[in-house]
Amino acid sequence: MPPPIIRRALCTPLLFALTLLALVLLPPSLLGGPRTRVARFVRFAATWGTLECAAVLACGRLWLRRAPADRYYGVVRRYVAGLDRAARRDLGLRIEVEGRWDGARGGPLIVLSRHAGPGDALLLVHHLLTGYGRRPRVVMKAALQLDPCVDLAGNRLPNAFVTPGQGTAPVERLATGLGRRDALVIFPEGGNFTPGRRHRAIRRLTRQNRRREAARAARMTHLMPPRPGGVLAALAAAPAADVVFVAHAGLQDMITVADIWRRVPLTTPVRVRWWRVSAADVPRVPADQVDWLYTHWERADAWIAALGSEHG
């Protein structure tokens, strides 16, 4: 990754230029009607860019005022809430949530979520911030810092931007000292689901002689095998934290821009299922924790499979 001063000097002007371009293209895109696919895409792009530019400017004001880090949660909350509204209006996004966990119950949380499709991390952060009043601490890929809003707000809040081979130290740092309203968010698969990545992950387990995990992973057809390192590090650093598992379906076939173009407006809802496991019910032996993690991942895979042809 380029140093902060370089990526911000390059990416921030580019953001404003692309947003201006989207705003210029918006009136012509509406000539065929506001509900055409082109109009929906351009309007969503213009809204996203405007929200991102506003968030970047807000981060700049907070930095100049030397505001406390917690103030940046307000910036993130407005940004992701605006994206949620725009996606519902322009892309036809609908979300149906099953198995709502007791968000009013306090205590630290470790949130383990499936990662598949565009924007699922932003939607998850939105629900944690707005729906449950939680302060997310997110483990993200370092490359996401090329997004100016993620870069500026994300680095002022307790998040971790990780690179391959970095180890579990960043996760341990985030999990240590989780407060009663905090939620550590990890995507155990390590990246967005694709069939190719799934097959490569299974082959990697086989090469590492982790044959039992490879066999269990092969039986899961909708998820990639979870990488337990970060999860185990979080459980060790925050033994009092409950764990929330998140499975979802409806975004996994939208991998490329062409996929998104074909699917918009969305005709089926995004289905989400949450379930909460008390800290007292989490095993304490690492080997047992790996087995426990796979068991819950298998539960998520079975739920997605049970949805049938609705989401593929």
Classified as helix, coil or strand, 261 is: helix
Answer for the pair 174, 137: CB distance below 8 angstroms, yes or no: yes
In the predicted model, is pLDDT for residue 172 greater than 60?
yes
* pLDDT score recorded for residue 252: 80
How many percent of the chain have pLDDT more than 90? 81
Residues 200, 216, 163, 63, CA torsion sign? positive
Single out the residue of 240, 230, 32, 201 nearest to residue 113, CA to CA. 230
CA dist 50 and 60 (Å) reads 15
Alpha helix (H) residue ranges in the chain:
4-29, 37-64, 71-90, 120-126, 148-154, 169-175, 195-207, 211-219, 228-237, 257-263, 286-306
Residues 6+ apart with CB under 8 A from 123: 80, 84, 95, 270
| Mean pLDDT taken over the chain | 92
* pLDDT score recorded for residue 308: 73
**Structure confidence at residue 59 as a pLDDT band (50, 70, 90):** very high
CA dist 92 and 94 (Å) reads 6
In the predicted model, is pLDDT for residue 193 greater than 90?
no
Query: What residues does each domain of the chain span?
Result: 4-310
In the predicted model, is pLDDT for residue 42 greater than 90?
yes
* pLDDT score recorded for residue 311: 47
Answer for the pair 102, 276: CB distance below 8 angstroms, yes or no: yes
Please compute the mean of the pLDDT values over residues 133-159 and round it to a whole number: 95
Identify the bridge partners of residue 178 per DSSP, sorted by sequence position.
none
12-16 own/partner pairs: CB under 8 Å, 24+ apart: 12/56, 12/148, 15/49, 15/52, 15/53, 15/56, 15/148, 16/53
How far, in Å, are 66, 70, 153, 154 from residue 61 at the CA level? 9, 14, 12, 15
In the predicted model, is pLDDT for residue 278 greater than 50?
yes
pTM assigned to the model: 0.93
Higher model confidence: residue 191 or residue 276? Answer: 276
Q: Which of 3-17, 113-127, 217-231, 269-283 has the lowest mean pLDDT?
A: 113-127
**Structure confidence at residue 259 as a pLDDT band (50, 70, 90):** confident
Within 10 A of 210 (CB to CB), how many other CB atoms are there? 16
